[in-house]
A and B are shown apart, each in its own frame.
Chain A
Amino acid sequence: MNAYARSQMAYSNHTAATRTEQSIEYELFAKMTSALVQSSKSGKFEAIAKAVHDNRRLWLALAADVSDDANNLPVELRAQVFYLAEFTQHHSSKVLTEKVPVDPLVEINRSIMSGLFAQRGAA
C-alpha cells in the first residue's frame, strides 16, 4: 500500500466514524445480503462460497460481541443473536456441502436489517 492509498483510507475511516453504529451495521448487512442474493442468482459456486464466507464472518463478529460481558443488550436479545449466528454457521455448511439455497440466510439478514432500519429512522 502506498502513501496515497493510505491517505485515502484515512479519509474513508473518518467518514465511517461519523456514521451511527446502526447505519454501519445496516450497511454491512446490506452488503452481505446483496452479495448472497447476487451470487445465488449468478449460480457461480465460487461467488456463492465467497458471499457465504463473508456473511459468516459478520455473524461470527456479532456472536463474539454479544458474548462479551460488557455488551449492554438485553440478555435475551444477546442469546437470540448468538443463536442466529449459530444457525448461520450451520446453514452455511449445508450450502457448501449439499448446495442448498442461501434463502434462509437472506431472510434472516433482511429481518435484522428491518429492525436496524426502523430504529435508525427513530434515532
Chain B
Amino acid sequence: MSSILTNNSAMVALQTLKSINSNLSKTQDEISTGKSVATAKDNAAIWSISKVMEADVKGFKAISESLSLGESTVAVARNASETVTDLLTEIKGKIVASQEENVDRAKIQTDIDALKEQIGSVISAAQFNGKNLVNSYDQSSILSSLDRDSSGTVTANSISFTGQNLTSASGTLETASALDRIGTIDDAGTYTVGNGASLTNTANTTDLVLANDLADSATLNISFGDQQFSYTNTTGSAIAVADLSNIVAAGLSNLGVEGVTTTSDGVDTVTIASTNKFEAIAIQGSSSGATTVDVNGAGAGVEETLVARAETVSLGGAGNTGGVVNEGDGFQIALGGQAFNYVAKDGDTLNDVATGLKRVLDAGGLEGIEVKVNISDDPTIDPPTIQIDNDGATAVALTVDDGADGVASGGLVGLDGIDVTTQEGAENALANIESLIETSIDAAAQFGSVQSRIETQSDFIGKLTDSLKSGIGSLVDADMEEASARLQALQVQQQLGTQSLSIANQAPQNILALFR
C-alpha cells in the first residue's frame, strides 16, 4: 500500500514525534501494571488502579466520563454567568444614561426590560443534561478519582461545589423560629428587637433653651452639624435672653443648613426642626460669659443630636452573636403591611443582607419611600443599618421580623423591580446594579475555579491513561498538537482497511451503549 499519506517524510515526522516516548516509557516502567510488583510500594494507589486496569477499564471510563460531564456542566454555568454579567453591565449603561433628566426614560426602561428578560432566558437555558447550576444553591459533586488503600478499600473522591442562584426569586422566609437579629433603633438610640415604628414625613424637632443674659464683649458659640454660629456682644450692654433667642434663631437660619428651620418663641427657646432624611445634626452651645445653652433638656453645654427623619433598622442587637449569618436566615421589613424579604445564602454577611434588603425594598417601588444602607466595615462587631424614610403624605407602618431555616433568595433578587422611569427609581437602580453585577461576577469566578479544579484532576486521569497505554504496548507521542493529531487521524484512516474500530475485541460491544 503506497500513498501520499504514508510516504517517507510523513513517517519521519511521526518518528520524530515519537522520540519523546523514551521519557514516557520510563514513566510507565514506574507505574506498575501488576507485573512489576516491586514498584507497587512506590505508589500503592496508582498500582492498585493499574491492577484493576488489567481486568477492565471501567474506572478510567467512569472517571473520565464523570469529569467530562462535570466539566461541560460547569462550563455551561460559567458561560451563563458571564453572559449575565455582560447583560447586567449593559443594563448599567442604560441606567447611567437614565440619570439625566432630559432623556426618554420610558424608552430606556423598555430596553432594560428586554435585557432583564434576556437574563431570565439565559438562566433557564443554562442547563446541561438536565442540570442547571445557576438557578439554585444546590450542592453538586463530580466523581474525580478512585483511591485504593493498602487493604484494598476503594474510596471515591469527588469535587463538590454549590450552585449559584442567579434568579431573582425572593426565597422563602420562615418566621417560626425568631433569630432576634433585626430591630429598630428609636430616636433615643435604643435598639428594640422585632419592633415597629411609624414612618411620617413630619420634621424632627429639638429645643435650645438659653439662660442668663449675654454680657457685653462676651461671645456665644453654637456648633451646628459641621457649621459654626458665633456671636459677640458689641452693643456695650448685656443682651437679654429674650432678644438673644431671636438673634440665635436668625443666625442659625443664616447658616443655610438644608432641610432645617429655626424659630424663636421670643422668650428663651429656639426650636429647630429638621426634615433631613438621612443626616443627623449634632448641636452644642457654649459662651465666654454666664450665658448657657441647653439642647433638648440635656443640661447646659451638653452636645445633643437632632436625629434624621428616617427610621433606622439595625441588623444587630440582642440576638446578633458575632454577626453570624447562616444559610436560610431570613430578614423581613414590612412597610404598610407589604412584606419585603431577603433570605441569606451560604456565605452571606450582614452587609450582604442589608444590601439585599435595600434591593427588594427599592424594587417594591413604594411611593415616597427612600432607603439608605449603611454598610459596616466589620459587620461582626458593628452591624450595618438600613434607614427608611417616608416623604409621602400618609404615615406608613414599619415592622420587622426574622427567622431561620428558610430558602435563600436568588442572587439577583430585586432585578425585576429596576425602574428608571422616575428620577428616584433611576438613582436607586444605579446603587443596586453594582451589587447585582458583583453577584454574577462572583458566580462566574466560582464556576471558573471549579472548572480549573476539574482540569487539575486530569492529572490523575493522565496516570490512568499511561497505564492503559502501556497495556496497548505501543506508544504514540503525547504532544497534543492539532497538526500531529491530524496526521494520526489520516494514518488511522489509511489503516482502517479490514477492521472496524473497536468491535474487533470479543468483549461486549461497548460502543452500542452510546445508541441508548
Residues of B110-146 at the interface with A, using a CB-CB cut-off of 8 Å, are 125-129
Q: Does A18 contact B (CB under 8 A)?
A: no
Residues from chain A with a CB closer than 8 A to the CB of B102 are none
A87 to B479, CA, bound (A): 9
Known: A45-B79, A61-B514, A64-B61. A82 touches B468 (CB 8 A): yes
Contact of B476 with A82 in the complex, beta carbons under 8 Å: yes
Contact of B68 with A57 in the complex, beta carbons under 8 Å: yes
Contact of B76 with A46 in the complex, beta carbons under 8 Å: yes
- For chain B, which range describes its interface: under 10, 10 to 19, 20 to 34, or 35 or more residues? 35 or more
Instruction: Count A-B pairs with CB separation below 8 Å.
Output: 206
Q: Does B458 contact A (CB under 8 A)?
A: yes
**Interface membership of chain B positions 459-499, coded 1 if the CB is closer than 8 angstroms to chain A and 0 otherwise:** 00100010011011111111010100110111111111111
Q: Does A75 contact B (CB under 8 A)?
A: yes
Residues of B415-454 at the interface with A, using a CB-CB cut-off of 8 Å, are 451
Q: Name the residue of chain B whose CB is nearest to the CB of A54.
A: B514
**Interface membership of chain A positions 49-65, coded 1 if the CB is closer than 8 angstroms to chain B and 0 otherwise:** 11011101110111111
Q: Does B513 contact A (CB under 8 A)?
A: yes
A75 to B461, CA, bound (A): 22
Residues of B332-357 at the interface with A, using a CB-CB cut-off of 8 Å, are none
Contact of B515 with A91 in the complex, beta carbons under 8 Å: no
Contact of A93 with B455 in the complex, beta carbons under 8 Å: yes
Contact of B61 with A81 in the complex, beta carbons under 8 Å: no
Residues from chain B with a CB closer than 8 A to the CB of A67 are 53, 57, 60, 468-469, 471-472
Known: A28-B514, A62-B511, A119-B497. A92 touches B68 (CB 8 A): yes
A21 to B511, CA, bound (A): 10
A96 to B493, CA, bound (A): 27
Q: Does B65 contact A (CB under 8 A)?
A: yes
Q: Name the residue of chain B whose CB is nearest to the CB of A58.
A: B514
Known: A58-B514, A64-B510, A70-B507. A107 touches B489 (CB 8 A): yes
Q: Does B500 contact A (CB under 8 A)?
A: yes
Interface residues of B, dominant DSSP: helix
**B455, B474, B497, B506: which contacts A78 (Cβ < 8 A)?**
B474
Q: Does B103 contact A (CB under 8 A)?
A: no
A45 to B493, CA, bound (A): 30
Known: A49-B128, A67-B472. A81 touches B501 (CB 8 A): yes
Q: Name the residue of chain B whose CB is nearest to the CB of A111.
A: B489
Residues from chain A with a CB closer than 8 A to the CB of B69 are 53
**Nearest CB of chain A from residue B498's CB, rounded to whole Å:** 7
Q: Does B75 contact A (CB under 8 A)?
A: yes
A67 to B507, CA, bound (A): 11
**Interface membership of chain A positions 22-49, coded 1 if the CB is closer than 8 angstroms to chain B and 0 otherwise:** 1011001000000000000000011001
Contact of A25 with B502 in the complex, beta carbons under 8 Å: yes
**Nearest CB of chain A from residue B516's CB, rounded to whole Å:** 9
**Nearest CB of chain A from residue B457's CB, rounded to whole Å:** 11
Known: A60-B64, A93-B71. A46 touches B496 (CB 8 A): no
A114 to B501, CA, bound (A): 12
Known: A79-B469, A104-B485. A65 touches B502 (CB 8 A): yes
A77 to B451, CA, bound (A): 33
Residues from chain B with a CB closer than 8 A to the CB of A78 are 472, 474
Q: Name the residue of chain A whose CB is nearest to the CB of B471.
A: A67
Contact of B485 with A21 in the complex, beta carbons under 8 Å: no
Contact of B451 with A96 in the complex, beta carbons under 8 Å: yes
In the complex, which of the residues B79, B468, B502 has the most CB atoms of chain A within 10 Å of its own CB atom?
Answer: B502
**Nearest CB of chain B from residue A49's CB, rounded to whole Å:** 4
Known: A45-B76, A53-B68, A65-B507. A108 touches B489 (CB 8 A): yes
A123 to B465, CA, bound (A): 33
Q: Does B503 contact A (CB under 8 A)?
A: yes
In the complex, which of the residues B73, B472, B486 has the most CB atoms of chain A within 10 Å of its own CB atom?
Answer: B472
A65 to B503, CA, bound (A): 8
Residues from chain B with a CB closer than 8 A to the CB of A75 are 472-474
Q: Does B504 contact A (CB under 8 A)?
A: yes
Residues from chain B with a CB closer than 8 A to the CB of A57 are 65, 68, 514
Residues of A68-106 at the interface with B, using a CB-CB cut-off of 8 Å, are 68-84, 86-87, 89-93, 96-97, 104
Contact of A119 with B505 in the complex, beta carbons under 8 Å: no
**A56, A69, A96: which contacts B471 (Cβ < 8 A)?**
A69
**Nearest CB of chain A from residue B116's CB, rounded to whole Å:** 20
Contact of B496 with A115 in the complex, beta carbons under 8 Å: yes
**Nearest CB of chain A from residue B126's CB, rounded to whole Å:** 7
A28 to B515, CA, bound (A): 8
A35 to B360, CA, bound (A): 43
A93 to B513, CA, bound (A): 23
Residues from chain B with a CB closer than 8 A to the CB of A79 are 469, 472-476
Contact of B480 with A86 in the complex, beta carbons under 8 Å: yes
Contact of B128 with A115 in the complex, beta carbons under 8 Å: no
Q: Give the top 6 A-B pairs by smallest Cβ distance, nearest first.
A: A115-B496, A65-B502, A115-B493, A111-B489, A96-B75, A72-B504
B positions within 8 Å CB-CB of A? 53, 57, 60-61, 64-65, 68-69, 71-73, 75-76, 79-80, 125-129, 451, 455, 458, 461, 465, 468-469, 471-478, 480, 482, 485-486, 488-507, 509-515
Known contacts A61-B511, A91-B480, A96-B451; 9 further A-B pairs (Cβ under 8 A): A28-B511, A46-B128, A67-B57, A68-B505, A83-B476, A89-B68, A107-B489, A112-B489, A115-B493
A positions within 8 Å CB-CB of B? 16, 20-22, 24-25, 28, 45-46, 49-50, 52-54, 56-58, 60-84, 86-87, 89-93, 96-97, 104, 107-108, 111-112, 114-116, 118-119
A-B contact pairs, 25 of them (CB 8 A): A45-B76, A49-B76, A50-B129, A57-B68, A62-B502, A64-B57, A65-B510, A66-B502, A67-B472, A68-B505, A69-B471, A70-B505, A73-B501, A73-B504, A77-B499, A79-B476, A82-B476, A84-B485, A87-B488, A89-B68, A97-B455, A111-B490, A111-B493, A116-B496, A116-B500
